[in-house]
Amino acid sequence: MIRRIVSISLLLASVAHADPAADYAEHCAACHGEDRLGGTGPALIPETLGRLKGIETIIAEGRVSTQMIGYAEQLSPDAIAALAAYIQTPLEQRPDWTAGDMVASREMNPDYRPADAPVFKADPMNITLVVETGDHHVSVLDGDSFEVLDRFATPFAVHGGPKFDPQGRFVYIMSRDGWVQKYDIWSLAEVGRIRAALNSRNIAISPDGEWLAVANYLPESLTILDDDLNPADLIAVEAEGTPSRVSAVYQAPQRGSFVLALKDAAEIWEVTPSDHAIRRIPISEPLDDFFFSPDYKQVIGANRTGDSGVVVDLDDGHEVARLPLPGMPHLGSGITWELEGRRVMATPHLGEGVLSVIDMADWSLVKQIQTSGPGFFLRGHATSPYIWADVFFGPHRDEMHVIDKQTLEIVRTLAPFPGQTFAHSEFTRDGSHVLVSLWEDEGAVVVYDAKTLEEVRRLPMRKPSGKYNVWNKITFEDGTSH
């Protein structure tokens, strides 16, 4: 016992003697910036690294398929541990990000030549993009043959759904580091990228495809870009003089606006894309994680305690209903369909193995479906009798439930990779196939026949996360979360 205490003390002493600031300056600053706000490499601040696992291993061994080399030969394990702790420490001064910084960061691809027509034979409306978070790439899949047409590098840690322009030709992809990348699907080429903020949440596109809105935590703001990635505005978000992080921004096509969920303010903001006019809707408490009625007149958001869904009428600003949804409903993943003549929506809960099915006419609870653990993502398709619900958290994260839309019963549970995360599904344009991610570094996209539920293909991928079908996204197909 005494020996163990001595060795722990020695370890702490050597960590204490490590000089992570000097090690950072020597080994990391050239790529990640002297201020830790990123350069050719991502920002190394807690806001960005928050959910990254194995930071010490990455410092020691590097990252395959990136420019990050390993430092195990140059730094002791203690120095690496100290460096990992250092980059997870908040910056002493809150960093700023200005319109000038944005302009300076904008890099357009000098080799980009827009094609007059798609450079491939596949149906451009049945392209599916697969975000591969394992090595920060996107694969462009032909949704009929499942051939990979292109695989391109993205900024670090892409999060949220990429957004397609209304023609389904261009796609905008956002990273937690605040980079927005524009890619031309017809030409299979990157158009360019810009850093819209230091830490961002998600991105939305205006109904006419001319404006992009980026929701930011750092600085607390909404960035508006034009479709050529020129900054048009950086709107500081605050309520009563206190800045508020923007949890997410949503496109509301029928309203012709962007709707903002604010993390730190009891308000919903609605912003007009072209003139950036702001409408502030006071609410009783901050709401997060929005789902909209099909006409975008009402929004349901989760309250901070994660036990209720609160419905707000966006026209008159009044609270319309409050549903008991304990266990943190993940409303943003909600999907809708017709159940015996009524439109219902389903939402998984992040805190418990339950899916809530809600009648959208009066926001009453239709049923809570028990699942084998908390889920994250749902998908359906107008042509399919089923919804696909993963079990992202807990011991059953290797399971995917297939649920009958009419009986609300689980009809099949797929678990082809015991012990490995099997999550997030997406249908092809015609609803004939479903693509599911084996969400592991040496992962895969597994293609199922949507009727027989039999596996038809396995496509190797590096930790695939979300998958996005052009047609399903631009037509706001019922079964896809927006």
Q: How far is the CB of 134 from ligand DHE (least distance, A)?
A: 11
Map residues 419-448 to x or -, x wherever contact with ligand DHE holds by CB under 6 A. -----x------------------------
Q: Tell me: does residue 373 bind ligand DHE (CB under 6 A).
A: no
- Specify the pairing of strand 410-414 against strand 163-164: unpaired
Contact 68, 24 (CB under 8 A): no
Q: Is residue 120 within 8 Å of residue 188, measured between CB atoms?
A: yes
Which of the residues 248 through 277 are near ligand DHE (CB under 6 A)?
248
Toward ligand DHE, which CB reaches closer, 3 or 51?
A: 51
User: How many residues form the binding site for ligand DHE (CB under 6 A)?
Assistant: 16
Q: Tell me the window of 159-167, 206-214, 340-348, 449-457 that interacts with ligand DHE (CB under 6 A).
A: 159-167
Sole window of 153-161, 185-193, 225-233, 410-418 interacting with ligand DHE (rule: CB under 6 A): 153-161
Write 450-454 long-range contacts (CB < 8 A, 24+): 450/381, 450/383, 450/384, 450/386, 453/402, 453/412, 453/414
Neighbours of 469 (CB within 10 A): 28
466 binds ligand DHE (CB under 6 A): yes
Residue from 161, 334, 353, 464 touching ligand DHE (CB under 6 A): that is 161
Q: Of the two residues 50 and 460, which places its CB atom closer to ligand DHE in the complex?
A: 50
Our CA dihedral for 47, 438, 369, 321, rounded to 10 degrees, sits at 30
What is the SS3 assignment for 138? strand
In angstroms, the Cα distances linking 377 to 22, 295, 331, 368, 431 are 42, 23, 10, 16, 17
Among 48, 105, 128, 133, binds ligand DHE (CB under 6 A): 133
Closest contact distance (angstroms) between CB of 94 and ligand DHE is 19
- Give min distance, CB of 251 to ligand DHE, in A: 9
How near is the Cβ of 287 to ligand DHE at its closest, in Å? 12
Residue from the set 36, 159, 381, 462 that interacts with ligand DHE by CB under 6 A: 159
Q: Least distance (Å) from ligand DHE to the CB of residue 99?
A: 23
Residue 202 in contact with ligand DHE, rule: CB under 6 A: yes
CB of 236 to ligand DHE, least distance (A): 20
* Cβ proximity to ligand DHE, 20 vs 38, nearer residue: 38
* CB nearer to ligand DHE: pick between 80 and 259: 259
The interface region with ligand DHE, picked from 57-65, 106-114, 158-166, 267-275 by CB under 6 A, is: 158-166
Site for ligand DHE in 35-64 (CB under 6 A): 50-51
- Taking the C-alpha atoms of residue 353 and residue 251, their distance in angstroms, rounded to an integer, is 29
Location of structure tokens 């002791």: 76
CB 28 within 8 A of CB 59: no
Q: How far is 305 from 373, CA to CA, in rounded Å?
A: 20
Q: Quick check: 233 and 224 in contact, CB under 8 A?
A: yes
Q: Which is nearer to ligand DHE, 161 or 329 (CB)?
A: 161
Which residue in 42, 332, 348, 375 binds ligand DHE (CB under 6 A)?
332
Per DSSP, the three-state class of 83 is helix
77 sits in which H/E element = helix 77-87
Q: If 0-12 CB within 10 Å is exposed, 13-18 middle and 19+ buried, where does residue 129 land?
A: buried
Distances (CA, A) of 96 to 201, 237, 250, 280, 414: 17, 14, 24, 25, 47
Closer to ligand DHE by CB, 71 or 422: give it.
422
Rounded least distance, CB 6 to ligand DHE, Å = 40
Burial label for 277, CB within 10 Å (0-12, 13-18, 19+), is: exposed
In terms of CB distance, is 175 or 187 closer to ligand DHE? Answer: 175
Residues of the shown chain interacting with ligand DHE in the complex, contacts defined by CB under 6 A: 50-51, 133, 159-161, 201-202, 248, 332, 376-377, 424, 465-466, 481
